[in-house]
Amino acid sequence: MALLFPIVFSHRRGHYQLNYLLTLIANAVITVAMISSLIFLLEGLPSHREAPAALLRAAGSLWVTNVLVFALWYWRLDAGGPHERDRHVGRLNSSFLFPQMLKPGNQDRGIGPESSSWAPHFVDYLFLAFNTSTAFSPTDTAVLSRSAKLGMMTQCLISLAIVVLLAARGVGIL
């Protein structure tokens, strides 16, 4: 919350490098808090610290947080972030290959549908993160860079721990 005002202020003032840095810091803090919460809940499983209903609520909250956090990571880091993608003309140096990038007529620019300036937006990364947490794979989007592959492996591991360990334990206790 302490970073919210500086993030908004830097964006409105057009200080995109500062905005980029502050959002990465905020996302890192949220990621560490999410992983810490998951570890805390997993440590409490053997001692039955949490009631089944509370465990299921926590699992659902952590799963949604996992989707949102990794959507933000992908959106912020891919091809230099949203400001760089909006300014870029030509083929994007993207970590992900979205299906729209392969549409006929867009091969010369390396980007997608309807207009010749298609670039992924937050919803595209949210869809990618949702599929990764649900299916444990990126489904329709190819992952090209090693860092994106490591990020997706981390997201899948967190999602797997949430679904298999926390949610299953909550349902099993009911």
Q: Is the pLDDT of residue 174 over 70?
A: no
DSSP sequence for 70-102: HHHHHHHHGGG-HHHHHH--SS---SEE-GGGG
Parse the chain into domains and list their residue ranges. Answer: 4-173
Note the pLDDT of residue 88.
65
- List, in sequence order, every residue forming a beta bridge with 142; answer none if it has no partner: 97
Task: Supply the mean pLDDT for the chain.
Answer: 85
The answer to whether 90 and 118 have CB atoms below 8 angstroms apart is no
- List, in sequence order, every residue forming a beta bridge with 96; answer none if it has no partner: 143
Note the pLDDT of residue 136.
87
Q: What's the average model confidence in pLDDT over 49-61? A: 87
Q: What's the average model confidence in pLDDT over 106-133? A: 73
pLDDT digits (tens, 9 = 90+) for 157-173: 999 999 888 878 777 77
pTM of the model: 0.84
Note the pLDDT of residue 39.
93
DSSP sequence for 105-159: T-TTTT--SSSTT----HHHHHHHHHHHHHHSS-TTSEE-SHHHHHHHHHHHHHH
